[in-house]
């Protein structure tokens, strides 16, 4: 009997989690470039704010628009497109000489971030066995904070490369984006999506490789039953009385995570530290320390969740 392949499962989950790493990197890399792009593009404070937030506008578009392609063309194929957008955004932002072009490429990066934030954890959850699903999906969140930390450190290391240092800060993101694109070509499609598209044999082959023959049969049947019993929801159900407590918890968690002001720190920490009298290099390493604390407490929370 063919045994389950934990190595294959973990490698596949790590590939998908690269989407989370790029999510974090692309979000945080702008922080180290703000002291350079502001004078280069002659931006006042308001214009700088809009330039920085162009990624977030793309995120909104990516989150809203990625669900349908993910259902039509597959989680994997849609993530491949996101990987290409990450690569285009990295190189395009690095080579931009006009503000409009720069904002356009940052917007593309935002679409990729929004797509990855939706489909990377979805893909991992659909390919992981039930007993490993929570631990593997949490890899995506861990990858996000690793991406943030890597962006902060790469900004620090590249700050002294000259007047075009900000270009290198964006260009370096092309390496993980290219890695994400290449490795995605070698991972399987989501078994759940394959079953939805009546590709039962392909789905079973993947499940068998991950979990072994006996468990694969059980999981295949469970997925088929889940799809058969699935009922299309609507907005009325979301706002129904029974769903209100869960809805409020979700909304308040999202609101409070923003009210902490952490995004302002992530985007403008180098400027904040520089205004306190620090040099650019010192401000960037202090920003990296913030990323380190973020990473440390993500590890702590992940451990607590796994224990509980």
Burial of 299 (0-12, 13-18, 19+ CB in 10 A): exposed
d(CA 133, CA 169): 34
- The CATH architecture that domain 6-187 belongs to is Up-down Bundle (1.20)
Domains in the chain: boundaries: 6-187
d(CA 93, CA 55): 11
For the chain, 308 residues long, the average pLDDT of each consecutive 10-residue run is 71 94 92 90 92 92 93 95 97 96 96 95 91 85 91 89 90 96 95 92 90 84 81 69 86 84 77 72 78 80 61
What is the chain's mean pLDDT, rounded?
87
The predicted-structure confidence for 138-147, as pLDDT tens digits, reads as follows 889 899 999 9
Which pLDDT score is estimated for 234?
Answer: 65
d(CA 295, CA 15): 20
Which pLDDT score is estimated for 4?
Answer: 59
Question: For the chain, first and last CA: distance in Å?
Answer: 34
Which pLDDT score is estimated for 127?
Answer: 92
Which pLDDT score is estimated for 233?
Answer: 60
Which pLDDT score is estimated for 212?
Answer: 81
Check if the beta carbon of residue 86 is closer than 8 Å to that of residue 22.
Answer: yes
Which pLDDT score is estimated for 133?
Answer: 84
Which pLDDT score is estimated for 1?
Answer: 42
Residue-wise DSSP of 127-163: HS-GGGHHHHHHHHHHHHHHHHHHHHHHHHHHTTS-T
Check if the beta carbon of residue 15 is closer than 8 Å to that of residue 183.
Answer: yes
Q: Is 231 helix (H, G, I), strand (E, B) or coil?
A: coil
Which pLDDT score is estimated for 171?
Answer: 96
Task: Enter the tokens of residue 62.
Answer: 């990516």
Residue whose pair of structure tokens reads 């520089």 in the numeric block: 274
Which pLDDT score is estimated for 305?
Answer: 59
The predicted-structure confidence for 235-277, as pLDDT tens digits, reads as follows 677 778 888 888 898 889 888 877 887 777 777 877 777 777 6
Task: Enter the tokens of residue 201.
Answer: 């044999």
């Amino acid at each position: 009997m063919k045994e389950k392949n934990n190595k294959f499962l973990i490698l596949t989950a790590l590939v998908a989690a690269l989407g989370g790493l790029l999510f974090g990197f692309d979000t945080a890399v702008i922080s180290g470039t703000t002291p350079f792009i502001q004078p280069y593009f002659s931006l006042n404070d308001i214009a700088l704010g809009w330039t920085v937030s162009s990624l977030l506008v793309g995120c909104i578009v990516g989150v809203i628009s990625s669900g349908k392609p993910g259902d039509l063309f597959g989680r994997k194929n849609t993530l491949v497109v996101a990987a290409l957008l990450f690569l285009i955004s990295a190189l395009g932002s690095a080579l931009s000489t006009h503000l409009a072009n720069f904002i356009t490429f940052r917007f593309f990066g935002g679409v990729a971030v929004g797509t990855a934030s939706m489909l990377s954890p979805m893909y991992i959850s659909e390919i992981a066995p039930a007993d490993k699903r929570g631990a593997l999906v949490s890899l995506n969140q861990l990858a996000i904070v690793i991406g943030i930390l890597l962006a902060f450190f790469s900004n620090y290391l590249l700050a002294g490369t000259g007047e075009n240092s900000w270009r290198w800060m964006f260009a370096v993101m092309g390496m993980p984006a290219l890695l994400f694109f290449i490795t995605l070509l070698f991972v399987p499609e989501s078994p759940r999506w394959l079953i939805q598209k009546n590709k039962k044999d392909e789905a079973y082959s993947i499940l068998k490789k991950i979990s072994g023959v006996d468990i694969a049969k059980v999981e295949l049947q469970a997925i088929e039953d889940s799809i058969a019993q699935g009922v299309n929801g609507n907005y009325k159900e979301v706002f129904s009385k029974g769903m209100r407590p869960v809805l409020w918890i979700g909304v308040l968690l999202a609101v409070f995570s923003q009210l902490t002001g952490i995004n302002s720190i992530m985007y403008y920490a180098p400027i904040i530290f520089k205004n306190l009298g620090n040099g650019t290099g010192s401000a960037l390493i202090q920003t990296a320390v913030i990323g380190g604390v973020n990473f440390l407490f993500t590890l702590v929370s992940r451990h607590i969740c796994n224990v509980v």
